[in-house]
Amino acid sequence: MRTAVAWRRSASCSGNVRAGQEAVPGVEAAIVAKQDERERTMNLGTFTRGLALAAVIAMAGLPPSAGNAQEMDISRIGSFESLGTGSVRGGAAPKTVVEDDQPHVVVLTIWNSDGDAKVSWKPVSGGEQQTTVIHGTGVHAFQTNGLFKIQATGDHEVQYGYLLFRLRKD
């Protein structure tokens, strides 16, 4: 059996109370405040989603940057090896993420940096050690053959996180 509940506006407070009941100002005010908070949260969430969608649409129209890219065959990933976070200050020795003779994929996320980070790595295809300068924050993936180091350039701190995967040998 369904019961209909009649609601009326309270004269003492802007919230709703059931018909036939007296408004309790403290409780009713708390309920109204919670409802207002939910409405603001939903409006903020809608605004944030709209802003993110607008940013994605705007970036889709931008020409690609003139950066270097590596071709990466993710089917070669053999296993997850480790993850970690760290920070390095300018002038300090580089932090070593990988130093062995195995091929790896390193996914590097720089989440806080006021300047540039310099990454040293060895290509999987062989050859000499490479150096990549990363400006600001972002996510970057590298295939490296046993060497991966990061250091900050200038007088600032770089905070980063990484995922390390071992590649299967051909």
CB 164 within 8 A of CB 106: yes
Q: Which tens digits make up the pLDDT trace of 61-76?
A: 444 444 455 667 778 8
DSSP 12: S
**What average pLDDT does range 151-157 have in this prediction?**
91
Q: Which tens digits make up the pLDDT trace of 89-118?
A: 998 999 999 998 889 999 999 989 888 999
Is the model more confident about 134 or about 8? 134
Strands (E), the chain: 7-9, 16-18, 77-89, 95-113, 116-123, 130-135, 138-152, 157-167
Architecture of domain 74-167: Sandwich (2.60)
Note the pTM of the prediction, 2 decimals.
Answer: 0.58
Question: What integer pLDDT is reported at residue 11 of this predicted model?
Answer: 46
Q: Which tens digits make up the pLDDT trace of 18-59?
A: 555 555 556 566 666 666 666 555 454 555 555 445 544 544
Q: Break the chain into its structural domains and give their ranges.
A: 7-60, 74-167
